[in-house]
Amino acid sequence: MTAAMKFEMMYQARNLSTDIVMEAMKNDQADANALKPFNKTSFLKNLKHCRFQAGYYDENETPIYTEIDDISDFNSDFFIKNMKCYTVTEDKSEHLGVRYIVLKENDLSKDLDALRVKIIGYLVLSFILMGIVGYFLGRLFLQPVREQIESLDQFISDTTHELNTPISAILMTIQSLKDVDSKKMKRLEASAKRLSTMYGSLTYRLEGGVEPSEDLCLAELIQERVEFIKELSDSKRLSVLLDLEATKIHMPKRSVHRLIDNLISNAIKYSDLGDSIHIRLKNNVLEVEDTGIGIDEKMKADIFRRYYRANDERGGFGIGLNIVLSICKKYKIKLGLVSKKGEGSTFKLTFPKVK
Structural domain ending residue among the three candidates 46, 76, 106: 106
Structural domain ending residue among the three candidates 106, 124, 142: 106
The proportion of the chain whose per-residue pLDDT surpasses 70, expressed as a percent, equals 83
Q: d(Cα 305, Cα 285) in Å, to the nearest integer? A: 23
Which residue in 309, 171, 180, 160 sits closest to 229, CA to CA? 171
Q: d(Cα 157, Cα 162) in Å, to the nearest integer? A: 9
Domain holding 322, by residue range, is 212-350
Which residue in 332, 328, 336, 324 sits closest to 354, CA to CA? 332
Structural domain ending residue among the three candidates 71, 106, 141: 106
Instruction: Check whether residue 216 and residue 346 sit in a common domain.
Output: yes
Instruction: Check whether residue 101 and residue 217 sit in a common domain.
Output: no
Instruction: Check whether residue 101 and residue 224 sit in a common domain.
Output: no
What residues are paired with 290 via a beta bridge? Answer: 277, 345
Q: Which residue has the higher pLDDT, 81 or 319?
A: 81
How much is the mean pLDDT over the chain? 82
pLDDT digits (tens, 9 = 90+) for 268-296: 888 888 889 999 999 999 999 998 888 87
Residue 174 lies in a domain: no
Residue 204 lies in a domain: no
**CATH number for 300:** 3.30.565.10
For residue 311, what pLDDT is reported?
A: 61
Residue 55 lies in a domain: yes
For residue 346, what pLDDT is reported?
A: 92
Residue 342 lies in a domain: yes
For residue 75, what pLDDT is reported?
A: 87
Strands 78-81 and 344-350, bridge-based pairing: unpaired
Residue 245 lies in a domain: yes
What residues are paired with 250 via a beta bridge? Answer: 215
pLDDT digits (tens, 9 = 90+) for 41-84: 888 888 876 788 899 999 888 898 898 887 878 888 888 888 88
Q: How many domains does the chain have?
A: 2
Residue 240 lies in a domain: yes
Instruction: Check whether residue 224 and residue 346 sit in a common domain.
Output: yes
Residue 168 lies in a domain: no
Residue 31 lies in a domain: yes
pLDDT digits (tens, 9 = 90+) for 123-142: 999 999 999 999 999 888 88
